[in-house]
Amino acid sequence: MSASGTPIANPSSRPRILTGDTPTGSLHLGHWIGSVRRRVEIQSTHECYFLLANMHAFTTRVEESASIRRDTIEIVRDYLAMGIDPEQSAITLQSEVPAIAELTFLFAMLLPFNRVMRNPTLKTEIELKGLGDKFAFGFPLYAVGQTADILAFRAVSVPVGEDQVPHLELTREVARRFNQVFCGVPTDIEDHEHVQHGGVFPVPLADVGKVGRLMGIDGKNKMSKSLGNAIMIADSAKEVQKKVNKIFTGRQSPTEPGDTSNALFQFVECFITDQARVAELKDKYSRGDNIGDGHIKAEVAEAINALLAPMRERRAMYEGEGSDARIIDIIMDGTRRANRLCEETLLMAKQAAGLRFWPRELRLG
């Protein structure tokens, strides 16, 4: 699609993908390695929608609506810095796609309550965030909402991290159930043949990234802003150097044989692009061939700064006075494109479910 809103994507020639983020603040290198890098790669070959799941942020932060709003804008600033091109990819604001909310209600009828509550990602979140039995009704509902996020776009593939796989399983179940109950798709039809047999929804695949999670500079936990072990996309070159110097290895001397499965070497492998150099560093390190951690850290910091330099430049174009308004314009354009597609899906779904009584037209954005 172009900025003016005319479709440049031909859905039949470019597979449609959707993925999303719950806005929790600015992004770090873990987001780059784990997901955004792949999005930047596929945006020219796929019809891409990137959803800002701002309603999901309300599940646990209903009293922080102002910071959710700031986080939503900030994440877009980081997307743009990292090279997501809003001309190619539609950056979409969940709360302004009414079809998602409507489909959530309908899909909630297709899922047994206990099936939703068995979702291991929800269970882990309840534990990690200490929600106990005090969580909002909307908290488990977000899992149903996520099935609507994906199916509203009739996406065929969803690039996600491992932790999201249970949500994708739920989504696949909703798609199958809907197609069987409302579109007459027989129960013995293979997932990839549902649409061919009259189903409204493709049964989407989870596209799980091969790279695991990037470790934080503490060398122990995965990189996370709240754990204070993250290198942020917006960090200065100096900050990057300082943080890389802190990467914990526990190694004592340059002649001690080192463990190349440690956090430092995950950074070497992720950020040093010269593969011959990576192999050489690994070889010397594992033999303790007079190579100090400090030396390796200097090379890692340089490599990270080479990656971040163009991101800093792009970011600068979306900072300062009036930049929030420009970002909101970008989101509005992406959301408009998304709504054209999602309203069409909603119409198809309502038709199938006997919910279409008269035509309607919404003015969206």
Q: How far is CA 310 from CA 13, 26, 109, 237, 327, in A?
A: 31, 17, 48, 12, 19
CB nearer ligand TRP, residue 152 or residue 278 = 152
Q: Is 150 in the site for ligand TRP (CB under 6 A)?
A: yes
Tokens at residue 111, please?
């899922």
Q: Is 154 in the site for ligand TRP (CB under 6 A)?
A: no
Tokens at residue 209, please?
């990234």
Q: Is 143 in the site for ligand TRP (CB under 6 A)?
A: no
Phi-psi category of residue 232: left, alpha or beta, with phi > 0 → left and psi -120 to 50 → alpha: beta
Binders in 1-20 for ligand TRP, by CB under 6 A: 18-20
Q: Is 47 in the site for ligand TRP (CB under 6 A)?
A: no
Q: Is 149 in the site for ligand TRP (CB under 6 A)?
A: yes
Q: How far apart are CA 355 and CA 118, in angstroms?
A: 30
| Residue showing the smallest CB distance to ligand TRP in the complex | 20
Q: Is 164 in the site for ligand TRP (CB under 6 A)?
A: yes
Q: How far apart are CA 12 and CA 158, in angstroms?
A: 17
Is residue 90 within 8 A of residue 48, CB to CB? The reply is yes
Q: Is 305 in the site for ligand TRP (CB under 6 A)?
A: no
Give the total of residues touching ligand TRP (CB under 6 A). 14
Q: Is 125 in the site for ligand TRP (CB under 6 A)?
A: no
Q: Least CB distance from residue 268 to ligand TRP, whole Å?
A: 27
CB nearer ligand TRP, residue 18 or residue 200 = 18
DSSP letters for 19-54? EEE---S--BHHHIIIIIHHHHHHTTTSEEEEEE-H
Phi/psi of residue 20, nearest 5 degrees:
-155, 170
Q: Least CB distance from residue 55 to ligand TRP, whole Å?
A: 9
Q: Is 59 in the site for ligand TRP (CB under 6 A)?
A: no
Strand ranges across the sheet with 157-160: 90-93, 47-52, 16-21, 157-160, 205-208
Contact pick of 97, 160, 247, 296 for ligand TRP (by CB under 6 A): 160
Binding site for ligand TRP (CB under 6 A): 18-22, 51, 53, 56, 146, 149-150, 158, 160, 164
